[in-house]
Structure 1
Amino acid sequence: MSSHNAPSAANLASAEHIRNNPKFKELVAKRNAFAWTLSAIMLIIYFGFILIIAFNKAWLGSLLSAAGVTTIGFPIGVGVILSAIALTGVYVYRANGEFDEMNRQIIEESR
C-alpha cells in the first residue's frame, strides 16, 4: 500500500473541523429528515397500492368506463411510478438548492 492513499494530517484536521461545524450538523440533520420524510411518503404510496391489490383486487380490475378497456388499477399504478419520479425530483431540487448552498458555506468556512 502506498502512502499516496493515506490521508494527510491536514486533511484529517480539515475533516474534523467540518464535522464540528454547526452548519454541517444542521445540513446532515435537515438532509436526513427530508430524505426520511420522502421515503416514508413513497412507502405509504407503494404499500397502499399493494394493500389495495391484496384486499380489493376486483375494484382495481374494474373498468374506468363501460365502453373502455382500461382498468382503475392502471392509472393508479402509473401514479405510483410517477410519484416516485416526482419525489426524486423534489429531493434533487432541494439538494441542488438549499443543501448545495449550505455545503458551499461549510467548505468556505473550513478553508
Structure 2
Amino acid sequence: MHSADPAPLASVYERVRKNPKFHELVRRRSRLALLLSAVVLVGYYGFMMVVAFAPDLLHKPLSDESSLSVGFPIGAAIIILSWLLTGVYSHFANGSFQDLTDEITRETLQ
C-alpha cells in the first residue's frame, strides 16, 4: 500500500482550479459537448417522432422505380452525423483543448 502524503497533490489541484485557463477550458469544453449532444439528440428524437407519428413519410420510395424508402438514407445520415460529430469533438479535444491543458499543466508545475 502506498502511503504518500496527499497534501502536495491537494495543492496542485487547488492551483489548477484557481487557474483562469482551467475555467476557460471547462467552459469551452462544456459548451461544445452540450451543443454536439443537442444536435445528436434532436436528430435521433426527431427521427423517432417521425417514425412514431408520420411513418408514411419514411415509407415512401426514393423514386418510382426504387425499392429503397426515404427512411433508409435519413437513418443512415443520422448515424453518419454522429460519427462526424465525434470527429469534430476529437478535433477540438486534440487541438485547442489539449493546448489549453498543456498550458495549465506547465503553469501548475512551475
TM-score, structure 1 length as denominator? 0.93
Match of residue 85, structure 1, among 68, 83, 100: 83
1:1-111 equivalence runs, <5 A? 2=1, 4=2, 8-111=6-109
For structure 2, the 5+ residue unaligned runs are: none
Residues 25/54 of structure 1: CA separation in 2 closer, same or farther (3 Å cut): same
Residues 7/44 of structure 1: CA separation in 2 closer, same or farther (3 Å cut): farther
Corresponding letter in the other structure for 2:100: M
For structure 1, the 5+ residue unaligned runs are: none
Residues 7/45 of structure 1: CA separation in 2 closer, same or farther (3 Å cut): farther
Corresponding letter in the other structure for 1:67: E
Instruction: Provide, for residues 76-96 of structure 1, a one-character-per-residue CA deviation record: whole Å limited to 9, x for no partner.
Output: 000110111011110000110
Q: State the Cα distance separating 1:75 from its structure 2 match.
A: 0.0
Q: State the Cα distance separating 1:61 from its structure 2 match.
A: 0.7
CA distance in 2, matches of 1:57, 1:72: 10
Q: State the Cα distance separating 1:7 from its structure 2 match.
A: 5.6
CA distance in 2, matches of 1:10, 1:18: 13
Cα RMSD (Å) of the superposition?
1.2
Aligned residues: 109
Q: State the Cα distance separating 1:8 from its structure 2 match.
A: 2.6
Instruction: Provide, for residues 38-94 of structure 1, a one-character-per-residue CA deviation record: whole Å limited to 9, x for no partner.
Output: 101111111110111112101201100111110000000001101110111100001
TM-score, structure 2 length as denominator? 0.93
CA distance in 2, matches of 1:47, 1:63: 22
